Amino acid sequence: MRQKVITSALPLSLKDAIVKDNKHETELPSEEEVRRMMTNVTRAIAKTDRRPVRTRLLALVSALALFPAVAYAETDANSEVYGTPSDLPFTLSGSYLSGRLAGFEKDYGHAAAFYEETLSADPDNTMLLERTFLLKLANGNVEEAVEYAGELDSADQRNFLAQLALGAKDIKEGNYEKADEELEKGRNGPLAQLSIGISRAWALYGSGEIDEAVAMIDGLSGPDWFEVFKATHKAHILFAAGRNQDALEAIEGAYEVDQGAIRVVGAYARILAANGRQKEALDALAQYDIQFRGHPKLDQTREVIASGQVIPPMVTDPAAGMSEILYGLGAVIGRDGGEELSTSYLQLALYLDPKAEFAAIALGSVFERMEQPDRAIDALLKVPDDSVLKREAEIQVGMNYNALEQLDQARDHLSALIEDDPSDLEAVVALGNILRSHELYEDADVVYTKGIDTIQEFEQQHWLLLYFRGIARERLGHWEQAEADFRQALELNENQPLVLNYLGYSLVDQGLKLDEALQMIKNAVELRPTDGYIVDSLGWVYYRLGRYEEAVKELERAIELRPADPVINDHLGDAYWMVGRRNEARFQWNHARDLGPDEDKLPKILEKIANGMPDEPATDAAKAESDKNGG
When pLDDT is averaged across residues 371-375 and rounded to a whole number, the result is 95
Number of independent structural domains in the chain: 3
Could you give the 3-state DSSP secondary structure of residue 19? Answer: strand
Asked whether the CA dihedral 310, 311, 316, 320 is positive or negative, the reply is: positive
Query: Residue 296 is inside which H or E element, if any?
Result: helix 296-306
- Whether residues 109 and 3 share a domain: the answer is yes
pTM of model > 0.95: no
CA geometry: angle 482, 484, 488, nearest 5 deg: 120
Strands 25-27, 18-20: parallel, antiparallel or unpaired by DSSP? Answer: antiparallel
CA distances from 334 to 89, 339, 398, 419 (A): 37, 6, 22, 34
Domain stops at, among 71, 105, 124: 124
Question: Is residue 304 situated within a structural domain?
Answer: no
State CA 357 to chain mean position distance: 16
Q: What is the mean pLDDT of residues 295-309?
A: 92
In a domain, 387, yes or no: no
Indicate which CATH number applies to the domain containing 558: 1.25.40.10
Count, residues in the chain: 631
* 575 Cβ contact list (under 8 Å, min separation 6): 539, 543, 548, 551, 552, 555
Structural domain contains residue 292: no
Query: Any idea what the Cα angle at residue 84 is, between residues 81 and 89, rounded to 5°?
Result: 145
Residue 631: pLDDT band with limits 50, 70, 90? very low
Q: In this structure, are 472 and 513 located in the same domain?
A: no
Check whether residue 29 and residue 114 sit in a common domain.
yes
The answer to whether residues 4 and 109 belong to one domain is yes
The reply to whether 149 falls in a domain is no
- Give dist(CA 55, CA 102) in Å, integer: 11
Domain co-membership, 3 together with 79: yes
Together in a domain, 526 and 451: no
Whether 15 and 59 share a structural domain: yes
Render pLDDT for 118-177 as a digit per residue (tens, 0 to 9).
898 888 999 999 999 999 999 999 999 999 999 999 998 888 999 999 999 999 999 999
- The residues, ordered by sequence, that sit 6+ positions from 329 with a Cβ below 8 Å of its Cβ are 191, 194, 195, 229, 345
Q: What does the DSSP assignment read for 551-579?
A: HHHHHHHHHHH-TT-HHHHHHHHHHHHHT
Domain that holds residue 433: 406-478
Same domain? For 11 and 118 the reply is yes
Instruction: Please report the pLDDT score of residue 48 as a whole number.
Output: 40
Q: Tell me, yes or no, whether 569 and 452 share the same domain.
A: no
- Please report the pLDDT score of residue 20 as a whole number: 28
pLDDT digits (tens, 9 = 90+) for 424-457: 999 999 999 999 999 999 999 999 999 999 999 9
Query: Is the confidence at residue 500, as pLDDT, over 90?
Result: yes
Query: In angstroms, rounded to a whole number, what is the distance separating the alpha carbons of residues 49 and 46?
Result: 5
Amino acid 92 reads: L
Q: What angle do CA 428, 434, 435 make, to 5 degrees?
A: 90
